[in-house]
Amino acid sequence: MEIMHDGWTAEVSDERGKGLTLSEAKALIRLASGMTQKEIAKSVALSPRTVRGSLERAYYRLGVTKAAAAVSVAQARGWIRYAGKVAVCGLLALSLATGTNDAMRRRSQPHRLTKREVEVQMYGC
């Protein structure tokens, strides 16, 4: 089963001992999106102590002691992923394939060197 929050997706394991439980996954993807433990507790209607327990179990399961490490290892194992980057990569690939990136590269003002070349031509130097 997959759950989502704020662009993050987590895979919840149905088998005991493999992957994340539902409460661990909910807490971890909210942590990955930048929420504090108190904010997570408010968003899932649990006490901060319950959220802390879920995160501690997730840390143990991942073999880490810090939040950033937990997010990194969970991403490396494929347990959580940021779905937003897929959309960004798709849009970038589409813009490169259609050639629309030329408009982004063109400047409305001439380059400094181009201005200098015009001045040199005007004075005949």
> What separation, in Å, do the N-terminal and C-terminal C-alpha atoms of the chain show?
73
pLDDT (tens digit, 0 to 9) for every residue of the chain, 125 residues total? Answer: 888 888 888 888 777 778 889 999 999 999 999 999 999 999 999 999 999 999 999 999 999 999 999 999 999 998 998 876 666 666 667 666 776 555 555 556 656 666 666 666 666 55
Per CATH, is 2-82 categorized as 1.10.10.10? yes
- The tokens for 21 are 């439980």
CA-closest candidate to residue 10, choices 21, 32, 23, 25? 25
CA 69 to each of CA 63, 76, 106, 121: distance values in angstroms, whole numbers, following the listed order: 9, 10, 41, 60
Which residue type occupies 41? A
Query: What is the DSSP code (8-state) at residue 61?
Result: H
What is the residue extent of each domain of the chain? 2-82, 85-123
* 8 A C-beta contact, residue 44 and residue 28: no
Helix, strand, or coil (residue 63): coil
